[in-house]
Amino acid sequence: MGRAFVYVILGGGVAAGYAALEFVKKGVSHGELCIISEETVAPYERPALSKGFLLPEAPARLPSFHCCVGSNEERLTPKWYKEHGIELILGTRVKSVDVKRKTLLTATGETISYRILIVATGARALKLEEFGVNGSDAENVCYLRDLSDATRLVTVMQSCKGGNAVVIGGGYIGMECAASLVINKINVTMVFPEAHCMARLFTPKIASYYEEFYKSKGVTFTKGTVLTSFDINSEGKVIAVNLRDGSKLPVDMVVVGIGIRPNTGLFEGQLTLEKGGIKVNGKMQSSNASVYAVGDVASFPVKIFGDTRRLEHVDSARKSARHAVAAIMEPEKSSEFDYLPFFYSRVFTLSWQFYGDNVGEVVHFGEFSGNSFGAYWISKGHLVGSFLEGGTKEEYEAIAKATRFRPAVEDLGEVEKLGLEFALAA
């Protein structure tokens, strides 16, 4: 026994929400589309979980951040799905997929068949155990990927006001959670193996600005070392973290953000994988013509750089999802996905945006002692990447436009002197 749909979206995160909106815009009929998600709530804007959701005053709570409010579009509540005849199958894990037979098997034992499948399974947080450290299941160790993790993090945070937290990892989760912990009056030590925070994107100069800002808020940095073990008390709580450099930090709670792995497991051996994700073409179509992949799980051709990439950011999830639906519903009108990578973050009163690629030579500009500065990356004589902190809407649009345009750069000194003017004039 089972149900049959024309279109099935597997996964109920950001990409699923934006895909559903696009399906409706393109005229999907009642009963044709379903979304199957392990989460128990309708698709929401995941970025809220490390920002508004963690605020001590007037925190963001559902239904306020259901998709697609992050792009100033309609808010898709469960009622919206109902009104548009979209079946939401929530709290349901898909445990196997047969792409030849075009069927999915859920953990509840139902077989669901599809004509077209959109894979939007996102990613899972890496666990400390994968690095040889035990204790992830301790009562006061928190990860942050979904709403239930965020709810738990809030409970743990509230139970240790004025206490000490150790944040493991100096990437996006580490930086955003550290800021939220400070706002919740918790003392924070960040621990990560690199020489500076956000090592994959920031230059040492950019990182230094944020680290100094965090220090001014009371955050301590322990860099170039990793966690080796926890001291856990008889109640199952971590009371100290032990680091490879021999130090021991007493703690009331731990937040771990050490990267993710895309959820490709259901498709291994069935679809072509590349760079850890499901390989798709410029229409987001996988090696099986009936299966599309979008969001964190998709490795897609980034036309502007002429290579295949898997991105782990919300803008790419939103746009790849919409592109796939347009390609499915209006194949004759649809072109190849032409995406300019875009990452951003907001912490404390700070806010930055990055477009393009961070390769080649770097030119910094602006006031690193103030609150508006940036950087350009120049590779093979062209601008390929731009970063800006504290910009206006128009300035962010200008760096995005300039990066897409890839102007030729002959004199790095001149670009440095022009600073933001270089992008505004490009």
Residues that bind ligand NDP (CB under 6 A): 50, 131, 168-174, 176, 192-194, 199-200, 226-227, 257-260, 312-313, 343, 345
Q: Which does 170 bind (CB under 5 to 8 A by kind): ligand FAD, ligand NDP, none?
A: ligand NDP
* Shortest Cβ 300–ligand NDP spacing (Å): 16
Piece in contact with ligand FAD (CB under 6 A), picked from 152-160, 201-209, 311-319, 395-403 = 311-319
What is the number of the residue whose Cβ is closest to ligand NDP? Answer: 171
State which of residues 237, 313, 322, 323 lies at the interface with ligand FAD (CB under 6 A). 313
Piece in contact with ligand FAD (CB under 6 A), picked from 42-50, 185-193, 223-231, 417-425 = 42-50
For 323, the token pair is: 């592109």
Decide: is 186 part of the binding site for ligand FAD (CB under 6 A). no
Mask of contacts with ligand FAD, 144-183, x by CB under 6 A? xx--------------------------------------
Q: Which does 39 bind (CB under 5 to 8 A by kind): ligand NDP, ligand FAD, none?
A: ligand FAD
Decide: is 120 part of the binding site for ligand FAD (CB under 6 A). yes
∠ CA 401-406-407, nearest 5°, is: 100
Decide: is 39 part of the binding site for ligand FAD (CB under 6 A). yes
Decide: is 319 part of the binding site for ligand FAD (CB under 6 A). no
Q: Report how far residue 62's alpha carbon sits from residue 60's, in angstroms, rounded to the nearest whole number.
A: 7
* Shortest Cβ 361–ligand FAD spacing (Å): 26
* Shortest Cβ 117–ligand NDP spacing (Å): 23
Decide: is 12 part of the binding site for ligand FAD (CB under 6 A). yes
State which of residues 118, 317, 362, 383 lies at the interface with ligand FAD (CB under 6 A). 317
Decide: is 22 part of the binding site for ligand FAD (CB under 6 A). no
State which of residues 286, 299, 345, 353 lies at the interface with ligand FAD (CB under 6 A). 345
Residues 222-281 contacting ligand FAD, CB under 6 A: 263, 266
Decide: is 121 part of the binding site for ligand FAD (CB under 6 A). yes
Q: Report how far residue 203's alpha carbon sits from residue 361's, in angstroms, rounded to the nearest whole number.
A: 11
At 378, give phi and psi (nearest 5°): -120, 125
Decide: is 356 part of the binding site for ligand FAD (CB under 6 A). no
Q: Pseudo-torsion of CA 275, 281, 286, 288, nearest 10°?
A: -140
State which of residues 9, 28, 35, 36 lies at the interface with ligand FAD (CB under 6 A). 36
Q: Report how far residue 143's alpha carbon sits from residue 42's, in angstroms, rounded to the nearest whole number.
A: 21
The packing angle between helices 172-183 and 204-216, to 10°, is 20
Decide: is 46 part of the binding site for ligand FAD (CB under 6 A). yes
Interacting residues of 387 by C-beta distance below 8 A, sequence separation 6+: 201, 206, 352, 353, 354, 358, 374, 375, 376, 399
Q: Which does 226 bind (CB under 5 to 8 A by kind): ligand FAD, ligand NDP, none?
A: ligand NDP
What is the number of the residue whose Cβ is closest to ligand FAD? Answer: 13
State which of residues 38, 211, 357, 389 lies at the interface with ligand FAD (CB under 6 A). 38
Task: Tell how far CA 425 is from the center of its chain.
Answer: 31
What share of residues in the chain are helix, strand, coil (percent, to 5)?
A: 30, 30, 40
Count CB-CB contacts under 10 A for residue 417: 12
Piece in contact with ligand FAD (CB under 6 A), picked from 33-41, 188-196, 244-252, 368-376 = 33-41
* Shortest Cβ 141–ligand NDP spacing (Å): 13
Interacting residues of 5 by C-beta distance below 8 A, sequence separation 6+: 31, 32, 33, 34, 87, 112, 113, 114, 115
∠ CA 361-362-367, nearest 5°, is: 165
* Shortest Cβ 407–ligand FAD spacing (Å): 25
Residue 282 DSSP label: T
**What Å distances lie between residue 66 and 12, 47, 73, 168, CA to CA?**
11, 11, 10, 29
Piece in contact with ligand FAD (CB under 6 A), picked from 157-165, 244-252, 340-348, 396-404 = 340-348
In DSSP terms, 385 is beta-bridged to 356, 377
Annotate 324-354 with b (16+ C-beta within 10 A) or e (fewer): bbbbbbeeeebeebebbbbbebebeebebbb
For 116, the token pair is: 């077209």
Strand 116-119, strand 291-293: pairing? parallel
CB 230 within 8 A of CB 254: yes
Decide: is 94 part of the binding site for ligand FAD (CB under 6 A). yes
Binding site for ligand FAD (CB under 6 A): 11-16, 36-39, 46-47, 49-50, 93-94, 120-123, 144-145, 263, 266, 295-297, 312-315, 317, 343-345
